[in-house]
A = this chain, B = another copy of it.
Amino acid sequence: MSFSVSAVAAPQVLGCEDHSPTTAKWLKLLVLKCKDESGREYNWEYVERVTKYRETDGVAVFARVVAKDQPDRLLVIAQWRAPLDTFVLELPAGIIEKGETIEQVAVRELQEETGYTGVLESVTPEAPNDQGLTNSCLNFGFATVDAAAPENANPQPSPELGETLQVLLLPIKGLAGTLLQLKAQHSWAIDSRLLAFALGLDYAASISSNPASSN
């Protein structure tokens, strides 16, 4: 089924100024001058990664671990994140640098951050992370990890400086509940993309268990 809408007129970007302090190495602070469809002008501050060279910044991977006679599990990392001073339950992910493809980064970051080797099956288009504040975007990859493969016999993450993490294999069934339990138990945070995915799983389960609203 095709869903059709009529587009509304977009505002216009009149200019962009760089207000980054000279000390900034990784982030740029930019100010856009905009004019809306009724001619009103306004400024919009936002942040851009200095590594950004294309429409996306990074890739995050939903990696399903398949093992004989075991329920499917999702590879999740609990990574310490300086801006929040806590561990965040999140997807293995990485920044795409010049000369790299999304697919390469997805497989490499999965390997580096979790130690597991996976087969990438699909990649979504880029999606903004926090579009009021930044032009940062990511693509989602979907990968399958064969727990019985020889390369996955003894998975060892190889974190870089600034990466403190541990790897968790969480049952996909009941994922939202498990994430919330871990958060409550350890005072960790849950990445909004991972939480939204888990809420989607739950939502679908609630519909299928209640055929009256199943549409």
Q: Looking across the interface, which residue of chain B has its beta carbon closest to that of A40?
A: B161
Contact of A42 among B2, B19, B72, B162 (CB under 8 A): B162
- Are B133 and A136 in contact, CB atoms less than 8 angstroms apart? yes
Contacts of A200 in B (CB 8 A): 196-204
CB of A111 within 8 Å of the partner chain = no
Q: Could you list 16 further interchain pairs (A-B, Cβ under 8 angstroms) beyond the known A3-B171, A62-B199, A83-B133?
A: A5-B78, A5-B168, A5-B186, A8-B166, A27-B29, A27-B45, A32-B82, A81-B132, A84-B131, A90-B131, A124-B199, A126-B189, A128-B189, A134-B134, A192-B192, A199-B200
User: A interface, how many residues as a size bin?
Assistant: 35 or more
Give CA–CA (A13, B82) in the complex, Å.
7
Secondary structure type dominating chain A contacts = mixed
The B-contacting residues of A in range 1-42, CB under 8 angstroms, are 1-5, 7-11, 13, 19-21, 23-27, 29-32, 34, 36-37, 40, 42
Contacts of A36 in B (CB 8 A): 161-162, 164
Give CA–CA (A185, B4) in the complex, Å.
9
Contact of A180 among B62, B125, B208 (CB under 8 A): B125
The B-contacting residues of A in range 30-58, CB under 8 angstroms, are 30-32, 34, 36-37, 40, 42-49
- Are B11 and A164 in contact, CB atoms less than 8 angstroms apart? yes
Give CA–CA (A44, B36) in the complex, Å.
36
Give CA–CA (A43, B215) in the complex, Å.
50
CB of A137 within 8 Å of the partner chain = yes
- Are B84 and A181 in contact, CB atoms less than 8 angstroms apart? no
Q: Looking across the interface, which residue of chain B has its beta carbon closest to that of A131?
A: B81
Contact of A87 among B10, B138, B168 (CB under 8 A): B10
Smallest beta-carbon distance A200→chain B, Å: 2
Q: Which of A10, A26, A189, A196 has the most CB of B within 10 A?
A: A196
